[in-house]
Structure 1
């Protein structure tokens, strides 16, 4: 595969009540993708379907994530989501409630475009 990464964004999301890893992961992905815009597609005519998106989500209990549902929420490209152990669980000592913190790395790749461009 000759894909070249052209963007990486990081995000964080949490669920303060309910210990919902999926909700925290959704918020982490949304946080990451809200930090960028991709004018490359309009500027070059490259279809966004040429873009491969690889998301890595870190939570303390990765097996509780529905990675296919998370991938389906991404607005552009062909997405895959991998869940790994990471993030944090923080217990509120006053209530015993656990706060879930998820982290996301969203990477976007395009096939090698060097043949399309020439140095002037």
Structure 2
């Protein structure tokens, strides 16, 4: 039986002074999950351990993101994180400093349930 996406949240994070892609990505993930709750687990007979969490991070330098370290910090489910090209770097012309901006999509999937009535 395949799993079904039950939630998707988006977030944005930045590092204004350190040009740290990991810090910006972590803040984007935190921004996304800060706005969500999963009361579903109080209503169904499933543990959060059965949830698969898939995170996509958009930054200008995906290779600079430690996706394993970010996955370890997610509080629920079995998480995977991937970094793709996206986000934004904004350079201050007066100082040369760069603000790193990351975006995140956090998706949660559960095993399909026979009693669910989902639209197709």
Query: Is the pair's TM-score, using the shorter chain for normalization, greater than 0.5?
Result: yes
What is the correspondence of 1:1-120 to structure 2 with a 5 Å cutoff? 2-113=2-113, 115-117=114-116
Deviations 1:8-53 (A, max 9, x none): 0000000000100000000000000011000111221310011000
| Runs of 4+ residues over 2 Å off in structure 1 | none
Q: Aligned Cα RMSD in Å?
A: 1.2
| Count of residue pairs brought into register by the alignment | 117
TM-score (norm 2): 0.94
Shift, 1:94, TM fit = 1.6
Structure 1: segments with no counterpart, 5+ residues:
none
Pair 1:95–1:76, CA change in 2 (3 A): same
> C-alpha separation between the residues in 2 aligned to 1:45 and 1:56?
28
Shift, 1:117, TM fit = 4.7
TM-score (norm 1): 0.94
